[in-house]
Structures are given as structure tokens and as C-alpha cells.
Structure 1
């Protein structure tokens, strides 16, 4: 095991679709106003934590979710393919401290012909915000989305039942992510296991274009310049086919390609953290970044979605 210490960084909803190519200043102002007058619990983290036992970490800010590292120091451990079945091994990133109790967990699949290194940036970035993150290798670099979906679930089962960090994980609070065919695989996993709390397909590819069976809150991230999985034939129909009653969102990256998710990206991280926190941790402190829905900006071409359901 190799330990890396990271320093802290500073009723049915109506669906909304933000118009393209407009400044994000209004959303920022609205979110700031909501934080002041509509989300008073942000100033009382102790009381809020008492209401939500899954809440982890301090009250979020734009700076904290855009930072390269969150408040938790992170350790990592490698998992050999020889010691597991159903997927190809990988690397687990997790908060070093156990003082806050257990954490939710997320498994991340790479895309076609790629390995876990293509998604490794997400490991410490998400783990430092209070998640156990498992970036995996697949059985074959050429596995199709349905196989990658099964492998994501096999990796979750290993993580929660047999891994060395299993006692750090709340096995009821799990999510999946993936790039390209791994993104298509994350939809397959969510379809197969509706108990998952969150799914985030990144520039996803799949021959199946409709996902009415999905019951997992899903954030689909596409790219306006994607020529391998064009949003018009992949991300957009995937999103529109999700049930309208579902917590769902579609974020289209501006000036981005199919391979944008393969390197550190603040926009992907910011909204992935917010989505995972809101739906895996039930942490309503992060709703301010999802509602009002983000406006188009230099990094966001388009955003569609609804404000999260409240329980």
C-alpha cells in the first residue's frame, strides 16, 4: 500500500433546459443567494450532520468542489487481477482517516482499448472529497458495454465484500462511473442493479439508445466535439430516454472531445462530486451546485435536467 497525504482545499420536478451560449453569472448569483437565504443549514454543519448520518466533510463551496483535492488525506492500494474474478483488478483510493465512519463507494470503468490509467485522475480527486473510489481494468481492452457493466458490478461486490477496505465502506451507498464504452457500461450496471445510488456516464457509447428501465439518479456528460460517440446519437438520446420522473441531468462540455474525461477536468470533477454527494451521501448541501441548473459558459455548452427530488 502506498499512502499519499493530500492537503485540504480550501411532487415531480419540472425539467429545465438551459439555452445555449449564455453567461453563467446569473446561475452563480442565484446559487449564492440560495446559499444565503434558502440553505440556512449550510452555516450549521453540526445540526445538519445530525439529520443526515451520511454527510461527510465540511460545508462545500465553489472553491472546494473545484479544487484538485478535497479535505481528506488519501491512501491507495493496488488490486491484482490474479486475486479477483469478474473484472481485471485496479486501484482503490480511499480516505485515510476512519474517524468519520464509513464512506460511499464508486467504481470507474475505462473505455474501449484503454486501461485504468486513463481514469486514474478521478481516484484521488473524488476520494479526497469523502468516497472510496475503485478505478478498474477490464478483462479485455475490447470488452463491450454490457460486459463492462457486469464488471463494474463485480468490482463493487469485491470492494464491499472482500477488499482490504471493505470495513470503510457503506455497502448501501454505491455508484458507478465510466468513460466511452465504460460509460455505456455504467448505464448497463444501473439498469441491472437499481439499488445503485448514482451513475455518471462520461462521453458514453452504447448501441442501446434507450434506458427507460434505469431507476438510479444519472448524470450524463457529453462533449460538443465528440466524433466517436457524438452526442446526437449517444449522450442526448440516452438522457432523453431516461424516465422523466428520475433525478437526471445532461451536461454537454464546451470545446471538448471524446477523450476529455481522460485527463483532469474541473467541470467534470465539480459536477461529478456534486452529483455523488447529493445522491450517494444524501447531502443536500450540494444542491446549490445543481439547482438552479447551471448555465452555459466557457466550459458548458448545454445543461438539461431537473432539480433533485427532496425526500
Structure 2
């Protein structure tokens, strides 16, 4: 009789506890902006593909406050919410066209990408940093694709003096999530305010911004929690100005991991690859 007496209340209590657990489960209460998973599960082949899984479009910007003209590349789908965004600027005397492949490739992997023409071809890194930040502000506040952009997931990239501008922009705006300086050049070597996860890409044979004088000191001086140093084997100062599978693999994986917080891409960054015909050296903080 005792078992009969207490069986009903016990079952009711158990059901109540189960229901409570369902309502307070981590998934139910998690911040929906904590991560942004876009696209199918990545593979070793997909991360280095010149064209990713997304159909894309582009729109030109004739001018803006604080930056020159440029091109915005973006995924055409409207069914996946907003996408992370990155602004990209070329180097000394270079035109926007030298960075255009980042627009077509990265947007097809699920990013909004704004490639810029520098205000002046002779602009030094600090001026290029200001232009990168102005372009990001325009992208999230005024551009025709602003509703497609997650304003909390922004990054910067640039080549040569544009790479130096990338480091300076991240130093000026610590809220940026990711930065990728490409064969970067800057007289300043330390950027103590950088909090963005930073992938420094250099080339072994760069005679303009040699790794020993530029990229290596940049990497060593960074205090950001996550950073990596990729030195391309037999590359030169302009190797990153056109598509290569190696640069694509690490740029896509880095932006996915640190702009989107998508840990599916950690496998391509950690453990580090051994030196091979494409990579002379890779240093890292090994993200998880």
C-alpha cells in the first residue's frame, strides 16, 4: 500500500523535474549570437577551393566618407541570416584589382567582403587603417547589403602597406574579431591593443617586406590570445595577390574560426602542418 501511496506523487515530481530541465537546457538559454555556422561541414578540399558553396553577387561603391571606391561581394542567400564581414585593402601603388580574388573567393565561402581602392596609391599604413575602419562603418550602417552583415563579426585584411594598415586598424579598434595582414609592411612593429585573432601571412622570398624585418616581429609582438604565423615556401612579396590553395585554406579557416566562431574549422589550424613544398614555417597558439 505504501508503494501505491507514493508512486503517483513521485511520478508527478519526476515529470516536473524533466520539464524544468528541458526549459533550462543550455541550448534553450544559449545566446543565439554566440556562434554563426554557415555552410556544409568543411573538408580538406573545400577549404582550399577557389569557389565555395555559396552563389554570390557584388555591388560597386563609387565613394564613401573616409574611403575611396570599392566593391562589395556577398552571398545571395537570404535564408541563413547575417554573415560575418571583412574589409580588404591593397598595398603601396596597388589597385583594388589585386585584392579582388579575395572578394570572389571569400564571399563564396560565406562572408561579406568589401575590397577597396585606396584613397591615394601612395598612402602609408596608418591612412589605410583609417580607410579600412571607415569602410566597415559604411558596410554595417549605410551600404545596400547592411541587412546581410553581422555588425558584431567584423575583420580586416590587407597587403603590404595595406597589411600594415590591417594591424593598425586592429590596434585602433580592439573590438574587431579577426585580422589577416598579408606580406605586411609597417615601420611600427608592436601593436599592443590588438585583440583580434591575427593570422600573419608572409613569404620566404619577400625582398620588399622580408619576414625577418616585418612579419616575424609583428607576430612576436602581438598579445592577442589567438595568433598564427604562416610563411609561404619560395613565395615573394606578391604571392598573396592571386589565388593559391594554401592562402585560401588558411584565410578561410581563420575567418570561419574567429569571425564565425565555427569550431569545425579548428582542425585545419591545429595541430599545425609540417613544413612542405608550400609552407616554410607555421607558428601558432593552437586554437580549439
Alpha-carbon distance in structure 2 between the residues aligned to 1:57 and 1:266: 19
> What is the CA deviation profile of residues 30-65 of structure 1, one whole-angstrom value per residue up to 9, with x for unaligned ones?
xxxxxxxxxxxxxxxxxxxx8965110011001111
Does the C-alpha gap of structure 1 residues 137 and 194 become closer, same or farther in structure 2, counting only changes over 3 Å? same
Q: Secondary structure at the match of 1:121?
A: helix
Structure 2, gaps ≥5 residues long: 1-31
**What residue in structure 2 maps to residue 209 of structure 1?**
189
Alpha-carbon distance in structure 1 between the residues aligned to 2:33 and 2:72: 30
For residues 97-108 of structure 1, what are the structure 2 equivalents within 5 Å? 97-108=77-88
> What is the CA deviation profile of residues 266-304 of structure 1, one whole-angstrom value per residue up to 9, with x for unaligned ones?
111110000000000000000000000122111000000
Q: Secondary structure at the match of 2:45?
A: helix
Q: Once superposed, which parts of structure 1, at least 4 consecutive aligned residues long, lie more than 2 Å away?
A: 50-53
**What residue in structure 2 maps to residue 300 of structure 1?**
279
**Number of residue pairs matched?**
257
**What residue in structure 2 maps to residue 173 of structure 1?**
153
Alpha-carbon distance in structure 2 between the residues aligned to 1:132 and 1:288: 23
> What is the CA deviation profile of residues 205-252 of structure 1, one whole-angstrom value per residue up to 9, with x for unaligned ones?
000011222111100000000000000000000000011x62000000
> In the alignment, does 2:138 pair up with 1:127?
no
**What residue in structure 1 maps to residue 258 of structure 2?**
279
Q: 2:50 aligns with which of 46, 68, 71?
A: 68
User: Is residue 104–residue 132 contact of structure 1 (8 Å, CA) maintained in 2?
Assistant: yes
Q: Secondary structure at the match of 1:178?
A: strand
Return the TM-score normalized by structure 1.
Answer: 0.81
For residues 13-52 of structure 1, what are the structure 2 equivalents within 5 Å? none
Alpha-carbon distance in structure 1 between the residues aligned to 2:211 and 2:285: 19
Return the TM-score normalized by structure 2.
Answer: 0.87
The higher radius of gyration belongs to 2
Question: What value does the CA root-mean-square deviation take over the aligned residues?
Answer: 1.2
User: Is residue 73–residue 104 contact of structure 2 (8 Å, CA) maintained in 1?
Assistant: yes
RCO comparison, higher one (Cα < 8 Å, 6+): 1
Q: Secondary structure at the match of 1:187?
A: helix
**What residue in structure 2 maps to residue 265 of structure 1?**
244
Q: 1:219 aligns with which of 191, 196, 199?
A: 199
